[in-house]
Chain A
Amino acid sequence: MRALPTIIAKDLKLLLRDRVALVFILIAPIVVICVAGFSLAAFYGADATGQTAYDLPVVDEDGGELAQKIEQQLAAQPSVHVRRVASRAEAERLVRDKLAGSALVIPAGTRDALASGEAARVLLYVDPVKYLERLNVRLEVLRARDELAAAERERVVAELEAQRGALRQQLEALDATLARGREQLAAAEQSARGERARAAAEVQAAFERAAARVRSDVARQVDEQLAALAARVDTDIAARAAAVAAPAREYLAALTDARAKFEAWFAELKRLADRRADQIPPPPEFPEPPPELTRALEEKPPPIALPPDLNIRIELPSPKLPSAGAEPPVDLERPSIEIPEPVIPGATLAVEEISVSGGAPTINTFDQNVPGFSVTFLLLGMLLGVSLGLLDERDWGTFDRVRALPVPASDILLGKLASRFAVGVVQMLVLFAVGYFLFGISLGPQPWALALPIAGIVFAGTAFGLIVAAGARTRDAVLPLGSIVIVTMAAIGGCWWPIDLEPRWMRTVALAFPTTWAMDAFNDLMIRRRGVEAAYWPTAVLFVYGFAYLGVGLVLFRRRMSR
């Protein structure tokens, strides 16, 4: 093993001085990565630089606003470049002449139809040959449509909310006004009650004063009038008594005379009745004139004496004062007004893509191309480095020369393989670094974890190079044999396109290739942003492949040397 470092150093020197090999393992993959990355940018629905966006002519027959919105929406997508064209015919021509894969026409009346709630449609002229472009453009147009619909819905909802808010404010203002009215009314009522009480007191006092004055005046007047009345009564009585006394006395004299005549008549009667005189009831007795009457008629009537303590009570009605609670209640309560819930326009069904691994749903195309073409050129580099390297040694005669030295043959092979392994690792690291700094590829949450699949695929590739070297008898046989196998492994293994594009049977076949496992690990670490644990199994498989290749290669090589 003492010779191993010497052999490795020699092989590294040989490689560093082989400009063709350096170009092939470093410059060529970068160029191919650039070409593939830019040309396949839209394949992954993303474009790292915006240079490869699909050209989408847009015809606006509708009058501008809707087209402008659609254009704004599409302009935000990196994979579509919108440009206005004048007419539908021009759009058709661009698609027919293969200058565009699709063209969008917004017919007249589209916006009005939408505004009035009617169904409307836009037209998409397509070139069926440009299937992928058509799909991507259609996807972007649908996305723009959904975003416009969502924006319109948001606008309507916001407007409704604004209207509801304004109405709510007006109701609140009304409530505030009513509250103020109620407060003012209460104050007015209280003030009125005070005024009423004060007026009532004043009225009462005035009334009392007036009543007293009236009572005084009335009493005085009554007294005066009573006195006069008494005098007049006295006079009148005296007159009337004088006038009555004479007839009365005449009446009493007549009455006494009548009584005497009656008694004479009655006695005659009884005599005339003779035998029936007994049955005649005694006649009523004429009453004797009362002595008082006789005395009154005899005497002058005394004057009417007024009582000295004549108390004349004058009851005045109380003044009618306004009642405090007599006013009818004022209803200042706002009737209940319910603001109805707005009728929200039907929402669009949005699709939210959620990467189950936490990575972005869309990928940088170089996240696929950098590891894919790095692996491809790694394997091709191994083909040149190991297979052609060993053939070079044979052609140069150095292989036999070294074999004739006291160095184990295994050291020669191990040195070659070890140097190529080191070169392969450096090649992958350089290409990933270029991908990171030039194209912004993702290195995943644990960039160092990439070392696992890198080591695995480099080891497998190195050992595979030994198989080709042992199996190919001539230099001319290496490239056809090796490149066919490598290109097949790379293509089927998902180095050039996502393996999911392949049919199921091919994906099953791909499991037999180390490229598949390497790409699986790179995709997991870089795109799906998984942790290092995602690389354990693929790396283990890669090393198993590597050891198997190494075993087969050594057997073939030994058989070759023994001939």
Chain B
Amino acid sequence: MVSAGAPAIAVDRLVVDRDGRRILDEVGFAVAPGEIMGLLGPNGAGKTTTLGVLATLLRPSGGAVRVAGHDAATDAKAVRAAIGRVPQDIALYPRLTGRENARFFARLRGVGAAAARRAAEDALASVDLLGRADDRVATYSGGMQRRLNLACGLLGSPPVLLLDEPTVGVDPQSLERIVATIRAQAANGAALLYSTHHMDEAEQLCDRVVLIDRGRVIATGTPRELVASAGVGLRVDVATQRPLRAEWLADLAGVRVLETGGPERAGRRVATVAIDSLELAPRVLERASAERANVLEFRVQRASLHDAFLALTGHASRD
């Protein structure tokens, strides 16, 4: 059990090297019981590696990791008993039913058959899957599989939950259910490390976030703190039919291009710009029009965690 006041997860100067390449470079953060910590970063930033070390699946090259008070390097079994892991990819047996999957993983947590049945029922109920519990997982929709994937990580109410992008590709209904379930776990005192590259999702769900990029921690704090620290006030999205030149805002003060425009999607490209004040918005629109790129949409909104990430790293979180 986690002693009072001690973090449920404590990562200190964590280093992971693989094949001569540094995957994690002195990563450090802590998660308190009942806290939802977002682990944010683009694909390849090191989020899954961090979760792998916490789940004792990967051996760290340096640093210290303690989970529920146990050293992950020396007391892996105790760490495993303390964590509930929801992997990024669906990790279920497709030929077993939802109930069979849940009971199987419950039994492997070391509980008896009756307790495993109860835990499975509770978990299935928490993700609203009791109605399909006896269907094979292969017949589930992607969202149902995500929910079951989450449920199998919650079995036995472990004090630490490691969630690796548990909402990838889910429908809004499933997302809502998953978020509710996660909040309920935190409310029950579990420490949650929630890895995602969906900034808005993290902004809504997480108490704090750790921004990680290329194996390094860029920033840690609440979403509001991070947005503020990034110095991004307003954000302008300009959708054009044709691409804008890279230097289309080169000599305009108080304006920074966060994204120059990604690949064409549905006949349009979106460039994201941070502006220091609302007065700069018309100037940006003028420049876009002058580029003869055929502006399709022009939107001004408050800066988000995503914008802060762009400002801090210089690239989008989904790169």
Q: Which residues of A contact B (CB under 8 A)?
A: 2-3, 6-7, 10, 13-14, 17-18, 396-398, 400-407, 562
Q: Is B110 an interface residue (CB 8 A)?
A: yes
A18, B95: Cβ atoms closer than 8 Å? yes
Residue from B90, B91, B96, B109 with most neighbouring chain A CB atoms (10 Å): B91
Query: Closest Cβ of chain A: how far from B265's Cβ, in Å?
Result: 30
5 closest A-B pairs (Cβ-Cβ)? A397-B91, A401-B91, A17-B95, A406-B81, A404-B55
Given A397-B90, A400-B57: A17 and B107 interface contact (C-beta under 8 Å): no
Assuming the contacts A6-B107, A406-B80, A562-B59, asked whether A396 and B92 have C-beta atoms less than 8 A apart, the reply is yes
B86 to chain A, nearest CB (A): 9
Please, which residue of chain A has its CB at the minimum distance from the CB of B90? Answer: A397
| Residues in B lying within 8 Å of A, measured CB to CB | 55-57, 59, 77, 80-81, 83, 85, 87, 89-96, 100, 104-105, 107-110, 136, 152
A13 nearest in chain B by CB position: B96
**Complex: A396 Cα to B109 Cα, angstroms:** 19
On whether the beta carbons of B108 and A405 are closer than 8 Å, the reply is yes
B95 A6 Cβ-Cβ under 8 A: no
Interface Cβ pair total, 8 Å cutoff:
67
CA distance A402 to B87 in the complex (A): 11
Are A14 and B95 in contact (CB-based, < 8 A)? yes
28 contacts between A and B (CB under 8 A): A2-B110, A3-B107, A3-B108, A6-B104, A6-B108, A7-B108, A10-B96, A13-B95, A13-B100, A17-B96, A17-B136, A396-B91, A396-B93, A396-B94, A397-B89, A397-B91, A397-B92, A398-B92, A401-B105, A402-B105, A403-B57, A404-B57, A404-B83, A404-B85, A405-B80, A405-B108, A406-B80, A407-B108
Give the shortest distance, in Å, between B45 (CB) and chain A (any CB).
20
Once the chains are docked, how many angstroms separate the CA of A398 from the CA of B87? 9
B163 to chain A, nearest CB (A): 13
Tell me which residues across on chain B come within 8 A of A402, comparing CB atoms. 105, 108
Chain A residues, Cβ within 8 Å of B152: 401
A400 touches B93 (CB 8 A): no
- Least CB distance, B144 to chain A, in whole angstroms: 16
CA distance A14 to B94 in the complex (A): 9
- Could you say which of B59, B81, B91 contacts A398, with CB atoms under 8 Å apart? B91
A120 to B80, CA, bound (A): 90
Nearest-Cβ distance from residue A275 to partner chain B, whole angstroms: 211
Whether B109 pairs with A404 at a CB distance below 8 angstroms is: no
| B80 in contact with A398 (CB, 8 Å) | no
A407 to B108, CA, bound (A): 6
**In the assembled complex, which residues on chain A have CB atoms less than 8 Å from the CB atom of B100?**
10, 13
| In the complex, chain A residues whose CB is within 8 Å of the CB of B110 | 2-3, 406
Q: A398-B91, A398-B92, A403-B56 are in contact. List 12 more A-B contacts (CB 8 A).
A: A10-B96, A10-B104, A14-B95, A17-B136, A18-B95, A396-B92, A397-B89, A400-B91, A401-B152, A405-B80, A407-B80, A407-B108
